[in-house]
Amino acid sequence: MMHALRKHSSILAKMKIFLPLVVWIILLFRTANSQISASRKHVGIFGLKHEVFFLNLEDGYFGCQVNESTDYLQLYELSKLCDGTSDCYMGSDELRNKLKCTNDCDKDGTACSNGVCLDGLCHCNDGFGGCNCQVPDENECKYRPCDVFAHCTNTLGSFTCTCFPGYQGDGLQCEDIDECQDPAIAQRCVENAECCNLPAHFVCKCKPGFEGDGEERCTDVDECLDPQACGRNAECVNLPGNYTCQCREGYYGDAYNGCVDLDECAQPGGVCGPGAICTNVEGGYRCDCPQGFDGDARSAQGCVDYDECARSPCGRNALCRNEVGSFRCECQTGFSGDPMTDCQAACSETDECNQDEVCSNGQCVNPCHEANACGMNAECLMGAHAKQCSCPAGFTGDPAIECVRVPISCASNADCSDGSVCRESMCLPRCRNDQECALNEKCLQGSCMLTCRLDNDCFLGHICLSGRCVYGCKADSDCSASETCRDNRCINPCLDSPCGPNAACTVVNHRASCSCFTGMVPSPTAKVGCVRAPALQCTENRDCADGTSCMGGMCRPLCADDQGCLNNERCDGGACKPICRKDDDCRTGEICQGQSCMIGCRSDGGCPRRVACIVSACSCPFGEPTACGTNAEYAPS
């Protein structure tokens, strides 16, 4: 069926109403701009000239221009497409490739004779239906029996209606689907956004006071960036999704329109101290004492005629309180007595304090209230004036230094209790941040772990060893000056007893230093040991000091047993004699005989000049004492 349309604008308007119901191919509408140049005239989407062309497969017809004018359009049956005869002004009805015209619709020996074969499917002219448009059939869809939001499909003797995507119903009546009722869709809107339903669609919209796309972010709008957000003398405070204005201190009024100065001096009761003069200033006030008065004009004492406390009239450990025309002395907290003369300390002995206190600097104090009273994670309790540090339940260690969580082995979470989780074969408490863990632990991957990568990952006094935080050191500088770093622990080097007998050990700059006790000398060094200073030679007891006796020509300490001698001495014949293992352990002029130092020699080199060593004794080289004359000495030839 062919019809000429003069009032095409009304028809096109009607077709636009049913645009979702049909398949349209619009090559291009002619516009005034398309006629600017002859070279661009009549160029369309398919690379051809401009032409209005539309295709309505549902109703079985197509339309196009028949001449250059777009005031009149012609409707044709679908069978006129690709029939070898150009019916449209620019031949758009014969563009086989663009229209997808094919010849493969023949079925059961029948051809697509009352329609057109497009992309292997036979589309019927108005008034025909069936597999290959062989059966006369009225196209009920042209009467628009379906809902405006439904698609109509003609069938032999009937039709079907299907609602468009985003709508629901039987096709005769379709209603919009509220996608925002679907939790999965509503969850696509981020925090501070709300889901807004639209026809066949939805949109996530940021709430008032927020900005963004609604599905990825909605950030707060800082209204305070607008200098005009609040009035004069007001401060802007940004809030999530909103803001508020408040007058600055010293001002009042409508903060959104402007604040005015507050006359504080007119406030009931006054704002200055007694006897002071109040002067209002912009945004505040000033308090001044009148001439002849002194004091803090803003304080509760106000202005007084004279501050007697300036000359310190109170006694020791007392505080002076100035008053109008006078003053008052009070003992400091923890002191008692006459504040005009002397305030005594609250205690002098611990027994004067409560059971949970001790006397320190004249004050009764609880040591558990002091910083670092006990080690890390340890609990502090007081009783009978004594401080006791202990590790809490589930922890172990030296409470004076550090308590660590008792490790509990596990194979799975079922082996753990109290909400702990099994990780790396250990039951570890769950956590959300470090504050939920012990002081020497960190919250890693949801569990409290005593682990680390660097020393900085550990707390003060800890180092990182094998991925775990341990209390220790890596260098002497990590320890106090009286300790040294050994095997990653700060220890007192004197605990290893590095000094010899009769020597004292002190630590200087992380190193042990050995020194002999008073009256002792190194033998040969204090690190090896110390012995008594060389004994004085004697001929009788009165040549020796108290506690010593002349034995073998030497003043030696008296003793009853070995306990009365030094560690490297023994009591021999009532005198303390050095114990030796070799001659170097004895004094000069002595040799080691049976672990005892005896006067003697091993060679002539151990004797004075011109004296020979004979039978371990320094003597003249002859058998009798008279071998050399009086005042003569042996002179070797």
pLDDT tens readout for residues 208-242: 999 999 888 999 999 899 889 898 999 999 999 89
In this structure, which topology does domain 264-306 adopt according to CATH? Laminin (2.10.25)
The CATH architecture to which 115-177 belongs is: Ribbon (2.10)
CA distance 267 to 281: 14
pLDDT at 223: 87
Decide: 364 and 347 in contact? Cβ < 8 Å: yes
Query: CATH topology of 115-177 equal to that of 264-306?
Result: yes
Name the more confident of 413 and 334: 413
pLDDT(16) > 50: no
| Cα distance from N-terminal residue to C-terminal residue, the chain | 163
Looking at the chain, the whole-number percentage of residues with pLDDT higher than 70 is 86
pLDDT(21) > 60: no
For residue 118, give the 3-state DSSP assignment.
strand
| The CA-based dihedral angle spanning residues 622, 625, 627, 631, taken in that order and rounded to the nearest 10 degrees | 130
What's the mean pLDDT when you consider all of the chain?
79
Decide: 334 and 346 in contact? Cβ < 8 Å: yes
Q: What is the pLDDT of residues 283-309, one digit of tens each?
A: 888 898 886 677 888 888 888 777 778
Closest by CA to 439, choosing from 477, 476, 478, 391, is: 391
| Every domain of the chain and the residues it spans | 115-177, 264-306, 534-619
Max intra-chain CA distance, the chain: 172
CA distance 81 to 455: 83
Mean pLDDT of 267-274: 84
- List of residues 6+ apart from 260 with CB closer than 8 A: 233, 251, 252, 253
Lowest-confidence region among 20-29, 263-272, 496-505:
20-29
For residue 320, give the 3-state DSSP assignment.
strand
Lowest-confidence region among 423-427, 496-500, 613-617:
423-427
pLDDT at 303: 84
Q: What is the pLDDT of residues 333-384, one digit of tens each?
A: 777 788 888 887 778 788 778 888 888 877 788 888 888 888 888 889 888 8
Question: Within 144-238, where are the H helices?
Answer: 183-186
Q: Dihedrals φ, ψ of 567, to 5°?
A: -60, -35
Q: What is the pLDDT of residues 598-615, one digit of tens each?
A: 778 888 877 877 778 887
pLDDT(27) > 70: no
For residue 466, give the 3-state DSSP assignment.
coil
CA distance 94 to 112: 17
CA distance 421 to 412: 8
Res. 635 pLDDT band, cuts 50 70 90: low
* Amino acid in position 271: V
C-alpha 115 chain-centroid distance: 74
The neighbouring-strand residues paired with 158 are 155
pLDDT(161) > 90: yes
pLDDT at 167: 92
Mean pLDDT of 156-169: 90
- List of residues 6+ apart from 492 with CB closer than 8 A: 482, 483, 484, 507
CA distance 522 to 528: 8
Q: Dihedrals φ, ψ of 429, to 5°?
A: -65, 145
pLDDT(186) > 60: yes
